[in-house]
Amino acid sequence: MAEKVVIIGSGPAAHTAAIYTARAEFKPVLFEGFMAGGIAAGGQLTTTTEVENFPGFPEGISGPDLCDRFRAQSQRFDVTIHTETITKLDLSSRPFKYWSDERSGEADTIILATGATAKRLDIPGAGEGPGEFWQRGVSACAVCDGALPMFRNQPLAVIGGGDSAMEEASFLTKFASKVYLLARRDELRASKIMVQRVLANPKIEMLYSHECTAALGTDGLERIRVKNLKDGKERELDCMGLFFAIGHVPNTGFLDGQIKTDAQGYVVTTPGSTVTSVPGVFAAGDVQDKKYRQAITAAGSGCMAAIDAEHFIAAQG
């Protein structure tokens, strides 16, 4: 027998959809993945040390702890959770078919909440593990982490040349003493208005034709080594925070082109809804949102997907 609702994902969008559909007595099945996209269940939140902008936690909460709470709430409503990665879907007819490495099954509706993975550069010192500073000064989300006390009134750096990099550099000036913006080329590919805003900000120092070659420090990030790509000279800059702003990769490869996506791979949904190009398939969270990419907006779209799925099931009788 086909499941009423199958949810693919493990972050705030997935668990909000699970909680709503469970309370509607659809007995949802959630596949949280096993290191899907190289990230633990919970997605991007698991790489965030302190979350201070999710309502209900005035003292703040760590990203992994928040993910654990999402999961516990789903379990409270008897959501079936499989720690397995969905590797294949057949959306050519209903019920839809799905496969993981451990099982296969059918679903009347599917909610895609697989998120998007932030791109990171392979810079010595910027990775994870001993002697590395990922989440100890190195981040891929200035909006998520930039307001943390460790970054206030400190020199920070952003890597990127697009609109996201301009937005993140501008955002960080609210807290930083100075922001270095590193771009590999001698021009920026961001929109003119964004570039003008950055160039007019006295707190931002543009480093054209530069790349970061190392992240340095002891207990946390303290300096970065940068290289001038035109003359090859290197120097070190005091820097307590390094932020990658070089884009995201939506986790849609397993869809194998069965659902309409944009040029970057994000699932296209009908404006004001989570409806995709395939009736009965809905998309929520960062897999379809390349603008906001926040835990709270993902949770909101997870609620929308659950209600959209409920209406679809009701219409099907």
* Local structure of 13: helix, strand or coil: helix
Domain holding 232: CATH number?
Answer: 3.50.50.60
- More confidently predicted of 234 and 141: 234
Among 244, 267, 298, residue at a domain's last position: 244
The answer to whether residues 224 and 279 belong to one domain is: no
The answer to whether residues 240 and 142 belong to one domain is: yes
Token pair 């949280």 in the structure block, residue: 32
Mean confidence (pLDDT) of the chain: 94
The answer to whether residues 99 and 130 belong to one domain is: no
The answer to whether residues 46 and 76 belong to one domain is: yes
pLDDT at 314: 95
The answer to whether residues 77 and 149 belong to one domain is: no
Mean pLDDT on 224-247: 96
Reported confidence tier of residue 35, pLDDT bands at 50, 70, 90: confident
The answer to whether residues 135 and 172 belong to one domain is: yes
The distance of Cα 308 from the centroid of its chain, to the nearest Å, equals 23
Reported confidence tier of residue 37, pLDDT bands at 50, 70, 90: low
Annotation says 122 is catalytic = no
The answer to whether residues 51 and 75 belong to one domain is: yes
Token pair 């209900």 in the structure block, residue: 56
Catalytic residue among 108, 145, 286, 289: 145
The answer to whether residues 221 and 253 belong to one domain is: no
pLDDT at 118: 85
Catalytic residue among 67, 144, 212, 239: 144
The answer to whether residues 233 and 127 belong to one domain is: yes
The distance of Cα 184 from the centroid of its chain, to the nearest Å, equals 24
Among 214, 244, 274, residue at a domain's last position: 244
The answer to whether residues 219 and 253 belong to one domain is: no
Domain total of the chain: 2
Cβ count near 13 (within 10 Å): 36
Exposed/middle/buried for residue 180 (C-beta within 10 Å: 0-12, 13-18, 19+): buried
Per-residue pLDDT reduced to its tens digit, 78-128: 999 999 999 999 999 999 999 998 999 999 999 999 999 888 999 999 998
The answer to whether the bond into 250 is cis (omega within 30° of 0) is: no
Token output for 286: 């960062």
Per-residue pLDDT reduced to its tens digit, 176-224: 999 999 999 998 989 999 999 999 999 999 999 999 999 999 999 999 9
Catalytic residue among 67, 108, 141, 289: 141
Asked if pLDDT for residue 39 goes beyond 90, the answer is no
Helix axes 295-315, 12-23, angle to 10 degrees: 40
Token output for 23: 């309370």
Annotation says 239 is catalytic = no
Which one, of 246, 247, 250, lies nearest residue 286 by Cα?
250
- Cα of first residue to Cα of last residue in the chain, in angstroms, is 16
Answer whether 86's CB lies under 8 Å from 8's CB.
Answer: yes
Percent of the chain past pLDDT 70, that is, above it, reads 98
Q: 221 is in which domain, residue-wise?
A: 120-244
Annotation says 144 is catalytic = yes
The answer to whether residues 55 and 105 belong to one domain is: yes
Mean pLDDT on 43-49: 76
290 φ, ψ (degrees, to nearest 5): -105, 5
User: Cα torsion at 147, 152, 154, 155 (round to 10°)?
Assistant: 20
The answer to whether residues 209 and 70 belong to one domain is: no
Residue 269 Cα distances to 145, 195, 274, 281, angstroms: 29, 30, 5, 10
pLDDT at 50: 80
Percent of the chain past pLDDT 90, that is, above it, reads 82
Instruction: Determine the residue type at 79.
Output: V
Among 198, 227, 244, residue at a domain's last position: 244
Token output for 67: 């993910």
Per-residue pLDDT reduced to its tens digit, 269-299: 999 999 999 999 999 999 999 888 899 999 9
| pTM summary value | 0.82
Could you write out the DSSP letters of every residue in 53-80?
Answer: SSTT-TT-B-HHHHHHHHHHHHHHTT-E
